[in-house]
Structure 1
Amino acid sequence: MNSIIKGLGLVLSCILAASCSEISFGDKFLGNQPESSGATTEEMFSSKINAEKVLTKAYTGLPYGLPTSADFKLGENILESLTDLCYSFRDNISDGPVKLYYNGSLSANNVPRNSAYRYGNKSDWTAIRYAWLYIKNVEKVPDMSANEKSERIAEAKVVIALCYFEMLRYVGGVTWLDHYIDVNEPMNFPRLTFAETVSKIVGLLDEAIGANLAWKASSADDGRMTKAGAMALKFKVLQWAASPTFNSDTKWHPEADEYTCYGNYSAQRWADAAEAGAAFFAEVDRQKEYQLIQPTEETHRARRLAYRQAYYNRGGTEILISTRQGYSSDIHGSFISQRYYSGPTLNYVNMFPWEDGSDFPANFDWKSPSKQPFFTKGEMVPTRDPRLYENVACPGDTYCNGTTAPVYLNHADYKNGSGFLIMKHILQEANDRSAPVQWSHTRLAEIMLGYAEVLNEINGRPTDEAYRMVNEVRQRVGLSELPTKMNHDQFLEAVLRERALELGFEEVRWFDLVRRNRQNDFKKKLYGLRSRGNDLNHPTEFTFEKVELEDHYWATNWDTKWYLAPIPQDEINKNYGMTQNPGW
């Protein structure tokens, strides 16, 4: 259990001895890492302002989807590089996708920091530690009202639930700490089953939802957990649990056990997710504070900017859970500096429809196109879904520093890759990145599309409400409605594609492929695009060539064991109760 305890804090024993330099205070809510100053437990909870700093420390351990200096996940690469949306070309010793996944070398004896998830060594445990510390001691604070304490305890419970959901998605059932650990307790923390873990997470969220928790944070408290966030997270947990990989009579792996799935199918699990979704949207309708951000005018540019505001800007009417590792755009500096080494695939680009919403043809003639795939010749008017350009730097678009994206062969700064670059969070101009940054962990569009999927499952076909949810997301960016009279499978494919388009590079695709058991998407051939412009710096038309990207290990050696991360063997050897995942 030692590394878990270290994850919970290197100084658990001295905390309980009431003095420790690890527990220390910073000056700003969700600001920088607290400075080393030392404090006893009594001092920590001697006032509201001090207690707030303990809860703040819990918030700083929440998962963050972009590479930062605080987390070496995937060697500062992104999770989408393990999916069909993106491909890594950064073949250096620290690159997680290339060195651990594309060659299949990840193993239980080799789970380094640059893996996608290393159980026992993640900041989740830091967040859980400080949240339970807060819950245990906040009643001591003299200058907080009972209502304030109730609300902050509910916040802390959502923080804990979010961290455990992160573990559930990466490893299945986990060791569960449901109180503040005393150093004199036996180090016996058996792994919970998948079902027990889901139930515990939902239980925490139900407690938070039923408490005195604000529906939406005020501008002064933006970033705190809210009732809306808790209800949305509950839906996501139940959607995950109901999905076919874990909710099936057929095991997702020959060695799958009660720790990694239910072991049977129950329609009630989909019904539970539907009930949570219905409750969330009923409260949204009643409270009137959350809605999709709409364009200021019916132009391509305005639609693109509305979509940007939905995921990039703090606050607003769409972000349900926002995690932070700081204020300045410098927090994303390592992601931006590595921008040339991971590229969206042509597979992903081809998912985006034309600007009117009609599908981009699967048999598009790249050598002699009858219609330009990205911009019209000469005038350079966009031809596709506005979200394409906000997710992907396409040939002809402005990128990062106000210059033309270096994705075509005759660009002076061209870097070999997929022929595309990631646009989301990097954006077009330095001034675009002047706003305070965040990770939009959960936003309204994701819950709308997820609820549409769930309604399709429990009814065996898409309902009017399911269509409405998807169509509203599409209409925000000017696309036509989905065709009517789809069957279950057709609508499911449409929803999963819409989730990829709307939520690209927001750490949704990997989890969608895992929970829906989409083995073929992990094994598929991936493609890139070679483009050549008619001008070095300001091309107004291009020629194209579709090319195959290099096959990786999964193309011919796929194993569903990759759905869940291996538990480091040295963690299991400590004998506190964790077990290995299937296939590892």
Structure 2
Amino acid sequence: MKKFTYYAAVLFLTAGLSTTTSCVDQIRVGDGFLEKAEGEDVNEDLIFSSKVYTEYLLWQCYEGLYSPFKSCYTLNSGVMEALSDIMHSELGWDDIGRIFYTGTLTAANANSGWVQSRFAFISQGGIENMSNQSKRSIWNCVRDCELLIDNISRVPDMSDEEKARYTAEAKIILACKYFDGIRHFGGLPIVDHAFSGEEQLSEGRASIEETVNFAIKLLDEAIAEPNLPWYLPEADLNTWAGRLTKGAAAALKAKILCYAASPIFNSDTPYCTEEPQDAVRELEVWYGNYDQKRWQAVVDACEDFFQMNAQNGNYYQLVQATEPTEEGYREAYRKAYRARGTRETIIEVHDRVYMTDWDQCPSNVWHSGACAATLDWMEMFPWSDGRNYDGQQYYGQRPAKVDIFANRDPRLYETMVVQKRDYKFQYYNADNPVQLWEGGEFLVCGSTWACKPWGFPTFKYVLDLGSNDQGGQGTIDDEPMQIAYLRMAEMYLIYAEALAECGHNTQAIEQVNIVRRRVGLGDIEVKNPQLNLVGNKDNLIKEIMRERACELGFECENRFHDMNRRLMISDFTKHLRGMHIYRLNDNNERVQEPWSSTSGEPFPTKFEYEEYEIQGANPRFVWSDPNRWSNKWILAPLPPDEINKNYGLTQNPGWY
């Protein structure tokens, strides 16, 4: 197994003492790790001389958990999900539009200056600049975890039980970071000890098999640790919500194995045949063959999780609606993906307490007219009875015979704002209803900015951004939020996908239906008999991917990573669409002006829907010529400066 070694780990102290972002707010993560006395040097001996200092190191490990909205991970305020087909960015300064949409990203410019690739392989400045937190790499957090694992036995005032539990938590965090790296780069250098002395990088990447096995071994060790609880007791949630558990380790194991079993790695053909092919030959970006046993391993991991969960009183479970209404389903879904301390979220990241109107990402970029949902995403959400959306037949009618935004999957209304009659459970008062038609007045924080470039303002996470003194009745700051890195709904969908890949379609369908029933949808195979989901594996996999987009879209780039791991090339190259909505008068003529409650007219109910291909300021390079697409984009480039150090690091296919 290849090893990764470099300069002293105590480098983390040069930056770790500065303000970090909260992971578990009540335990001071983000309040200034290790507030040392003036003039005092902080070193390993001090860190492991006291339980309290060692705990601060663990909290810093937690700070390294990935959040798509944390500034050190965003692409200059760009949201990575805008590389998928469900969102498109109109932001003028993010790397999404400037580098990815133009197709000008190279290995050389991927992490230079303000430009950032999908994920930083290493901090700007390389090993010697590991204290640079502006573009946090995988290894910042890996370093902290290994330091704790190797040295926690030295702490004099900590019980053996506490040491064992903290070690297990650090191993889960370490596995999370390796999973982050696998999704962006494939095989990685293996770090299995704390960095010390003047060690240098000595060997390159491990194979994808070795990398996955390393992460799974960490999780198996955490699962086997008797001092790590399966879940956090209710009494501990106020203080400890967000801490990792045995349940988190078991669920993450299934998620990693699912990615590894996907066509990106598990195939008889490498995903990209462009030069350089060193990483292909070394099996660092694929297994070299297809083996269904890899999918069976996912099935086994899921069943282990569900069995252990049952043995622990089925603690992890979906948040269910308190009443079977649209409002009830919406509230349950919002709690599931956004609220802290629910029994649905298995791994939750606390990178802030509240999401304010002017958080740079995603709130500010949404407010500025970027981070917007596409018509392609809107069409993925079924009707409220569970039938797949077929509203395209009403486009272009004047007026449309059916309100395409009424009687839809309740998750649609929690994901994006749509022109829905009788928009229930909204956050606009009677004098400021949702007016998304051309010329309508859609107020956001009192602004008339272009917040709906493709017709559908983002609602998920950011809610409506409307405060009481600015025209809205928003609840954006009313309760603490979290980012769901992994939650119970995804476990059912992971299990469904693996079962389908192993030929167990009927059982797979049942897992999908468990998720759908939470929001009142009818069973997918009953409502869509034309798809023959029991007998057609390909159709079933497509439906699982669509269901994942509806349930998990915009959560840690789940749709983007699904498109990558399943090699959904046609979805990367298709021209994405928006929708013009036109208000019609009694003569079915377009009326491009806002409605006012003082006009004496009832709120408009007649509309025309017109789809269009997005252009805007940031068209994607493949739209004008799909043949320009290259499968090199499936994985990110590694920095040439590291490759040129000649310790064996290889470049991913297609990148120079």
Same fold (TM over 0.5): yes
- 2:558 aligned partner: 508
Counterpart for residue 379 of structure 1: none
Aligned partner of 1:337 in structure 2 is 364
Unaligned runs of 5+ in 2: 20-25, 124-135, 442-447, 465-472, 527-533, 585-592, 597-602
Q: Is the Cα–Cα contact under 8 Å of residues 357 and 364 in structure 2 kept in the other structure?
A: no
1:414 Cα deviation after fit: 5.9
Of 552, 569, 572, the match for 2:620:
552
Report if the CA contact (8 A) 1:327-1:437 is conserved: yes
What stretches of structure 1 of length at least 5 have no aligned partner? 376-382
Partner of 1:240: 259
Separation in structure 2 between the aligned mates of residue 134 and residue 406 of structure 1, nearest angstrom: 54
Match of 1:206 in 2: 220
Taking a change above 3 Å as real, the CA distance of residues 474 and 14 of structure 1, as seen in their structure-2 partners, is: closer
- Judged with a 3 Å threshold, the aligned counterparts in structure 2 of structure 1 residues 245 and 408 are, in CA distance, closer, same or farther, namely same
Report the AA paired with residue 478 of structure 1: G
Match status 1:433 vs 2:490: no
| Aligned with 1:478 (options 513, 520, 529) | 520
**5 Å matches for 1:308-457?**
308-330=334-356, 333-334=359-360, 335-339=362-366, 340-361=369-390, 363-368=392-397, 369-375=400-406, 383-396=407-420, 403-405=432-434, 407-412=436-441, 413=448, 415=450, 417-428=453-464, 429-457=473-501
**Cα contact 2:386–2:521 (8 A) shared by 1:** yes
1:24 and 2:17 are equivalent in the alignment:
yes
Q: How far is 1:44 from its partner?
A: 1.6
* CA contact 1:366–1:544 (8 Å) conserved in 2: yes
- 2:54 alignment partner, SS class: helix
One of 303, 322, 325 as aligned partner of 1:299: 325
Alignment partner, residue 380 of structure 1:
none
**Structure 1 stretch displaced more, 296-305 or 356-365:** 356-365
Contact 2:632–2:653 under 8 Å retained in 1: yes
Greater mean deviation of Cα atoms: 558-567 or 187-196: 187-196
- Larger mean CA deviation between 223-232 and 139-148 belongs to 139-148
Task: State the distance in 2 between where 1:282 and 1:20 align.
Answer: 42
Indicate if the aligned counterparts of 1:138 and 1:149 stay in contact, CA closer than 8 A. yes
Question: Given the superposition, is the C-alpha separation of residues 568 and 187 from structure 1 closer, same or farther in structure 2, using an over 3 Å criterion?
Answer: closer
Q: 1:332: how far off?
A: 7.3
Instruction: Report the residue type matching 2:75 in the other structure.
Output: L
Structure 2 CA distance for aligned equivalents of residues 279 and 177 of structure 1:
27
Contact 1:270 1:457 in 2 (8 A): yes
The structure 2 residue matched to 1:40, chosen from 10, 22, 43, is 43
Q: How has the CA–CA distance of structure 1 residues 436 and 31 changed in structure 2, closer, same or farther, with 3 Å as cutoff?
A: farther
CA drift at 1:120: 0.8
Distance (Å, rounded) in 1 between the aligned partners of 2:355 and 2:614: 32
Residue identity opposite 1:498 in structure 2: E
CA distance in 1, matches of 2:146, 2:34: 21
Q: 1:264 aligns with which of 289, 293, 297?
A: 289
Task: Write the distance in 2 (CA, Å) between the matches of 1:296 and 1:540.
Answer: 32
Q: Distance in 2 between matches of 1:75 and 1:400?
A: 30
Task: Give the deviation of 1:399 after TM superposition.
Answer: 7.1
Deviation sequence 1:210-268 (CA, Å, 0-9, x none): 11311112313211111111111110111111111211112211133411011111111
Correspondence list, 1:213-224, <5 A:
213-217=228-232, 218-219=236-237, 220-224=239-243
Mapped pair 1:87 → 2:83: no
2:380 aligns to what SS in structure 1?
Answer: coil
| CA distance in 1: counterparts of 2:166 and 2:490, whole angstroms | 26
- Aligned position for 2:531: none
- The letter for the 2-side match of 1:47 is S
* Superposition RMSD in Å: 2.4
Q: Which of 115, 118, 124 matches 1:116? A: 118
Q: 1:420-469: per-residue Cα shift (whole Å, max 9, x none)?
A: 1111001135324321222111001011011101001112x4133x2221
Partner of 1:462: 505
**Counterpart code for 2:612:** V
Please give the TM-score of this superposition, normalised by the length of structure 1: 0.91
Q: Is the partner of 1:528 in helix, strand or coil?
A: strand
Q: CA deviation at 1:135?
A: 1.2
Give how far 1:24 is off: 3.5
User: 1:152-163 to 2 correspondence within 5 Å?
Assistant: 152-163=166-177
Residue identity in the other structure for 2:651 = Q
Q: Distance in 2 between matches of 1:167 and 1:21?
A: 24
Find the aligned partners of 2:358 and 2:215 in 1 and give their Cα distance: 30
Task: Sort the Cα spacing of 1:137 and 1:456 in 2 relative to 1 into closer, same or farther, 3 A.
Answer: same
Tell me what 1:378 maps to.
none
Q: Deviations over 1:531-575 (max 9, x none)?
A: 134662565433321111125223411111100001121222233
Q: Determine the C-alpha separation between the residues in 1 that align with 2:8 and 2:543.
A: 52
Partner of 1:226: 245
Instruction: Check conservation: 2:418, 2:436, Cα contact below 8 A.
Output: yes
Q: 1:450 to 1:318 in 2, by over 3 A?
A: same
Name the amino acid aligned to 1:373: I
CA contact (8 A) 1:527 1:549 kept: yes
Alpha-carbon contact 2:516-2:523 (below 8 Å) kept = yes
* 1:31–1:326 Cα contact (<8 Å) kept: no
Amino acid at match of 1:421: P
> Does the Cα contact within 8 Å between 1:131 and 1:156 map onto a contact in 2?
yes
Percent identical: 34
How many angstroms apart in 2 are the aligned matches of 1:89 and 1:15? 41
Conserved? CA contact 1:426–1:433, under 8 Å:
no
Q: Which among 559, 562, 570 is matched to residue 633 of structure 2? A: 562
Task: Provide TM-score, normalisation by structure 2.
Answer: 0.81
SS for the counterpart of 1:329 is coil
SS of corresponding position for 1:543: strand
- Report matched runs for 1:51-200 at 5 Å: 51-66=54-69, 68=70, 70-71=71-72, 73-90=74-91, 92=92, 94-112=93-111, 113-121=115-123, 122-200=136-214
Deviation at residue 405 of structure 1 after TM alignment:
4.8
Question: CA 1:414/1:384 → structure 2, altered by over 3 Å: closer, same or farther?
Answer: farther
Displacement of 1:313 after TM fit?
0.5
CA contact (8 A) 1:158 1:230 kept: yes
Give the CA deviation at 1:182: 1.5
Q: 1:451 to 1:536 in 2, by over 3 A?
A: same
Indicate the SS of the match to 2:578: strand
SS at match of 2:547: helix
Contact 1:274 1:455 in 2 (8 A): yes
CA distance in 2, matches of 1:200, 1:35: 30
Out of 470, 493, 499, the residue aligned to residue 548 of structure 2 is 499
- SS of the counterpart of 1:421? coil
> What residue number does 2:307 align with?
282
Residue identity in the other structure for 1:456: A
Q: Counterparts of 1:243 and 1:78 in 2: how far apart (Å)?
A: 24
Q: Residue 491 of structure 1: CA displacement?
A: 1.1
